[in-house]
Amino acid sequence: MRAPEMGETAVKLEGVWVNFNGAVILEDVNLTIEAGRYVGILGPNGAGKSTLLKAILGLIRPQRGRVRVFGEPPEKLRHHGDVVGYLPQRPLGNPRFPVTVLDVVLMGRYGRIGLLKRPRREDRDMARRRLEDLGISHLADRLIGDLSGGEQQRVFIARALNVEPRLLVLDEPMVSLDACVQDDIFELVNTLREKLNLTVLIVSHDIGAVARHMDDVVCINRRIHVHQPPPIGRLGLESTFGCAVEYLFHGEIPHRVVKTHDD
């Protein structure tokens, strides 16, 4: 994977509108993300976070506006199979399906080798390297359904990386994971971003973790309210989440966002 060029744009949205069943999901979204950045996307439920990712991935087409990924329409890049790695919210329809960890990671190569072709030796070697990168090479022959939630998420990230992408997109990868596991994965993804010359977009509900780990924060609620490096100001959070909020800091305990209240 080549290193990002100085000032190269990874993702650019210009005046993007997305409607669904008569409702506006994204409203005049303008967003530019430089290559090599580690970007957290925040917003309340129903704010359009997943829709934003799908527009970037070319899985939906906006009614208005333009989307470019490394200067190309995303639907064009989908046919290349080696530009974007994607981890959706539900990465495996049936978590008890009897498939090994190595086979799950190999699924990331199908865009390169074709669905009806058998993986080559170099494909298996690449899959094993991705498992090593995620610290789970010892799980290669285990069934995916027998793993813990944190182990499964590492497997799915390895699968997304097995595309050998330039852009890694993770849609709420930390759901149902405890705080320590979340922090470990945030840090690991950042290490891999630097090692593999990636641009990374992560949707998360954990404002504290995003503020600690990310280069940039995008706050969205139909439209972009904030796009800046952390920390995020109170007014930006309130305009995004639609209610009065505040940070609570208690030593090493991650801060939370809550409604303001009187003593």
Task: Please write the tens of the pLDDT for every residue from 67-76.
Answer: 999 999 998 8
Structure tokens at 2: 């080549």
Q: Where does the pLDDT of residue 191 fall: very low under 50, low under 70, confident under 90, or very high at 90 and above? A: very high
Task: Show me where the domains of the chain are located.
Answer: 1-83+168-228, 91-164
pLDDT in tens, 23-74: 999 999 999 999 999 999 988 888 899 999 999 999 999 999 999 999 999 9
**Which pLDDT does position 188 carry in this prediction?**
93
**Which pLDDT does position 258 carry in this prediction?**
46
Q: Which CATH architecture has domain 1-83+168-228?
A: 3-Layer(aba) Sandwich (3.40)
CA distance 34 to 15: 18
**Which pLDDT does position 118 carry in this prediction?**
85
- pLDDT averaged over the chain? 84
Whether residue 108 contacts residue 160, with contact meaning beta carbons closer than 8 Å, is answered with: yes
| 251 pLDDT higher than 50 | no
- At position 223, the amino acid (one-letter code) is R
Q: What is the mean pLDDT of residues 125-149?
A: 94
**Which pLDDT does position 183 carry in this prediction?**
85
Q: What is the mean pLDDT of residues 215-230?
A: 88
**Which pLDDT does position 95 carry in this prediction?**
65
